[in-house]
Structure 1
């Protein structure tokens, strides 16, 4: 009873920062004090009463652009993380049951790890002119799946060799049943942890693409794009660069901590600690 009372109380503490930051980014436009594209002060103006974070390179309110710039990044990273995790979970379970697919997964992961993400994004952006954010998301998904599949396959290998899977195989169960009904439910900790890692990776890849102007284009409010646009005036108004940089870092860290706290393994550790 003691473990049951303590464990649920600790989970929200780890999850709350990610939820609050995500909620603020998604609802930020409702609280923006100024129009996102309208100059309201001088270029690179320091923080003032009407502009708490100062102005950017065109005199637009940094705070208003910050409140508008997080929703698209979070949505894009979330879609990429869900797609990569789902594809990796399914393919990884089939890979441990099918030697041919397992070898393809290993070769694909080797190639993906050798190809720098920035190069992959640039190649797809050049091959898909006008693709914008969708092209960046496609590249992030394609580059993330091979490595993620190898992670899932590594975790699924001991499960596939367990007695209940061998018994199901001997009873004539089909491949899809073995992969999705016998193996996948036993990989919840791996899948949740992988989701957190892939979300962080997607945030960094999409932010990097925005910094290189391969995704959203000016004057769109985007945290990564704000860093690039305001870098020349960082000494005049550091908050124009520091604020979006901190937002990206805090988003990645808080979501990763939340995903780790929600894994069954983490809950088991808290339960054991609560019984001592």
Structure 2
């Protein structure tokens, strides 16, 4: 038995005993469960399996520490009311906000961070990583790391633009339908049902095959696909508000529809709408990445995470994980946004932790 194995189990058992002594039940259960799992993995996989567990536990601890530090940073710089809300945020939400912040910095400052241009050929095809290329080269000899950085700007930026357009279209139609009612509400509802009845990927492939794959067409098509979802939520939320007494009082004062929407309905429905914006972004982001993987999204030589997975997929056969890096970037952002959305939905539901 190596020194690493002895030290590994000794550290886990000592930490478990300390947690039990100071009555930290959750910490004790986590540490002792890790000890039992490590014991089984050690028997099956030996020292290499324990090293993998150690790396995973260290990465998890680093993520937890970073999330806590980032939350405290936000609490310090935020206004008192917002700081009070941030203190109640779980570490998962803090981790999500940190990831979103990191992606935003990478996208905004991509030309500064990336060592090479997104379409610059600097090596031979599939060149291995070196001091000049952190992740090696792709099928044309372009720096994979630089293209991933630029992909944060292109893929996320396009998804954010399409989400904003879809949200504006759907929310505006839903608010007007709730206020006006009647034939306008019926027409908008049936139109939303028709669009939602067609699978989003099939609808997108059909429209892009007809109108082309320019960025403007992609944004409009994706916005049309997902605006009915926003419409139905907005119509449901606003429909519960328009029957309130203060809305009737505003109507009796002679206030118009736009006043009711801006001053009465919209401020009282912001929480679910903001949470819905995060969910819609995830759907749009995954759809655009999927379209790029199929060759109908962002076109070369523009860097895009979906197309990068397709272009470097042959490396999987040789045991190279390069194609998994842009896929992991897609998955990480999706999970991070969902962490934040879950927290926002919890806050808007009015539930309290005990």
> Please, what TM-score do these two structures have when normalized by structure 1?
0.86
Larger Rg belongs to: 2
- CA–CA separation in structure 2 for the residues paired with 1:245 and 1:82: 24
- CA–CA separation in structure 1 for the residues paired with 2:295 and 2:214: 9
Larger relative contact order (Cα-Cα within 8 Å, sequence gap ≥ 6): 1
C-alpha deviation, 1:267, in angstroms: 9.6
1:115 aligns with 2:198: yes
C-alpha deviation, 1:38, in angstroms: 3.6
1:9 aligns with 2:87: yes
> Cα deviations across residues 1-57 of structure 1 (Å, max 9, x unaligned)?
x99865333558242221112212332331223343344444334434433222211
For the 8 Å contact 1:36–1:61, the answer to whether it is kept is yes
Counterpart of 1:205 in 2: which secondary structure? Answer: helix
C-alpha deviation, 1:153, in angstroms: 0.7
For the 8 Å contact 2:208–2:296, the answer to whether it is kept is yes
For the 8 Å contact 1:261–1:267, the answer to whether it is kept is no
Q: Indicate how the Cα distance of structure 1 residues 210 and 42 shifts in structure 2: closer, same or farther if over 3 A, else same.
A: same
For the 8 Å contact 2:103–2:152, the answer to whether it is kept is no
Q: Indicate how the Cα distance of structure 1 residues 86 and 93 shifts in structure 2: closer, same or farther if over 3 A, else same.
A: same
- CA–CA separation in structure 1 for the residues paired with 2:216 and 2:184: 28
1:247 aligns with 2:329: yes
Q: What are the within-5 Å matches in structure 2 for residues 36-51 of structure 1?
A: 36-51=118-133
- CA–CA separation in structure 1 for the residues paired with 2:252 and 2:348: 34
1:104 aligns with 2:187: yes
1:67 to 145, 149, 157: 149
- CA–CA separation in structure 2 for the residues paired with 1:94 and 1:86: 12
C-alpha deviation, 1:177, in angstroms: 2.2
Q: Indicate how the Cα distance of structure 1 residues 216 and 154 shifts in structure 2: closer, same or farther if over 3 A, else same.
A: same
> Cα deviations across residues 63-89 of structure 1 (Å, max 9, x unaligned)?
111112220112211112212222222
- CA–CA separation in structure 2 for the residues paired with 1:46 and 1:236: 12
For the 8 Å contact 2:106–2:113, the answer to whether it is kept is no
C-alpha deviation, 1:244, in angstroms: 0.7
- CA–CA separation in structure 2 for the residues paired with 1:72 and 1:268: 37
Q: What are the within-5 Å matches in structure 2 for residues 1-276 of structure 1?
A: 7-11=85-89, 13=94, 14-97=96-179, 98-129=181-212, 131-236=213-318, 238-261=320-343, 265-266=347-348, 272-273=352-353
- CA–CA separation in structure 2 for the residues paired with 1:268 and 1:78: 28
Unaligned runs of 5+ in 1: none
- CA–CA separation in structure 1 for the residues paired with 2:238 and 2:341: 20
Q: Indicate how the Cα distance of structure 1 residues 237 and 70 shifts in structure 2: closer, same or farther if over 3 A, else same.
A: farther
**Count of residues in Structure 1 that have an aligned counterpart in Structure 2:** 270
CA RMSD of aligned residues (A): 2.7
Q: Which residue pairs with 2:19 in the alignment?
A: none
Q: Indicate how the Cα distance of structure 1 residues 258 and 114 shifts in structure 2: closer, same or farther if over 3 A, else same.
A: same
Unaligned runs of 5+ in 2: 1-79
Q: Indicate how the Cα distance of structure 1 residues 175 and 21 shifts in structure 2: closer, same or farther if over 3 A, else same.
A: same
